[in-house]
Amino acid sequence: MKVTVPDIGDFDDVPVIEVLVAAGDTVAAEDPLIVLESDKASMEVPAPAAGVVGEVAVKVGDAVSQGDLILTLEEEGGGDADDADHDGEADAAPDADAPDDDEGDEPDSGGTSDPASAGQEEQQAAPDEAPTGSSGDGAGDGDEVRSERPPAGTFDGDDVYAGPGARRLARQLGVDLGAVEGSGPKGRITKEDVTAAAESGGGADASGGAAPAAAPAAPAGLPPWPEVDFASFGPVEVVERSRITRIAAPALARNWAMIPHVTQHDEADITALESFRTEVNAAHADEGVKVTMVSLLLKACAATLRAFPEFNSSLDGDRLVLKRYFHLGFAADTPQGLLVPVIRDVDRKGLLEIARELTELSGAAREGKLSREQMQGGTFTISSLGGIGGTAFTPIINAPEVAILGVSRSAMKPVWQDGEFVPRLMLPLSLSYDHRVVDGAAAARFTTHLADLLSDPRKMLL
């Protein structure tokens, strides 16, 4: 039988970093065959059945996509490759006459699905229409679009081969897909091709070379993007951005453009909380677990979200989806860019358990070993810059969430108490919220409630 790359989500041309078998090896079902490493996670591809490895079609360093051949496998029982491929694997390879639809959802920093993006897919017939501040008509209509498999060469009158995700990204970046040369299987245009075309000025020319530099198309009513020959003013260096930053950039631009952000700034007195944290770490030093301020923030935010459920929701057209679970994401700074792992059911976990999971997920993020599941399902996000500095900032909401908490560095300040100034450790809080869902009064109550919990760690237990 032919073993091909399975559905690996919204990824194309994923590098092979390890080949675990060789021709003649005997493998059991679910034994790992190869290891792939995307921009967000590494993943093993298991054997679909027990058998003997025949020809291995990939090597370390190859880039593969869904449907590409990994190896041939002679199943136990002597089934031949042709019969096995015909019976069980024929649908795994990409159809030469129809583009794959594995790009239906564009990944964001949190790994969650976005009803706003799904609603945008209804606009495929109008590629020149600029995104608006509308949230769309809900995920349901978008899902119907993703389930269709349009025939090759039929995209808005152009002979191009691209999935919905690449077409949506091309609209957002103002890229003419007709001028882009696809690098995917059978010449399919991937999202990386679209991003590269936008960075180079719009795509490849007819001769296959880079097109002359040109600015991306500006939304209707705005002046064009300035075109500047930077080298004319002095020495320059052009560097490639990481895959994470290239993929995240369109999602961040979408979130900022489509969500009416407002940021509520406040401070929390964490003098007692810091003492509590120090005592807990000293008491559990032998257990190899360290409680950080983010661990405490996760616990306090879960309690505050329970008190203010509209902050733990998502827009679905004209309806609001209130989530009765508390899966909190946290921004992890990695060498390749920002990732947002998710800790599930924070409200049901103890502080030490949260601290352990936070450490494990942070390490996996830095090593590029986060799985897709570890970045999905978030309902609220915390972005902490406390270890770096700053006094306040405006974090961008991680759609389809409706709020995100930014935390800056704590500082000792004089606070007026009982007729005198006393030194107190104050933590800056910056809550960005979707003004379509949350109003200013609710945001102020949220940060006040959160600051009250942080001022006395005992209140988190109530």
Residue 180 has, within 13 A of its CA and on its CB side, a CA count of 32
Clarify whether 435 is annotated catalytic: yes
- Locate 168 and state its tokens: 């949506």
- 54, 23 in Cβ contact below 8 A? yes
Residue found by looking up tokens 């989530």 in the block = 323
Torsion angle, CA of 384/389/392/393, rounded to 10 degrees? -60
**Phi, psi torsion values for 187, nearest 5 degrees:** 80, 15
**Phi, psi torsion values for 68, nearest 5 degrees:** -70, 145
Residue 36 pairs with which residues in a beta bridge?
16, 43
Residue 162 pairs with which residues in a beta bridge?
189
Q: Which of 261, 284, 435, 449 is catalytic?
A: 435
Biggest alpha carbon–alpha carbon distance for the chain: 88
CA 378 to each of CA 54, 73, 184, 193, 360: distance values in angstroms, whole numbers, following the listed order: 42, 39, 31, 29, 17
Alpha-carbon distance 72 to 77, whole Å?
15
Alpha-carbon distance 349 to 289, whole Å?
15
Alpha-carbon distance 260 to 438, whole Å?
10
Strand-by-strand arrangement of the 14-19 sheet = 42-46, 32-37, 14-19, 63-64
* Residue positions annotated with a catalytic role: 435
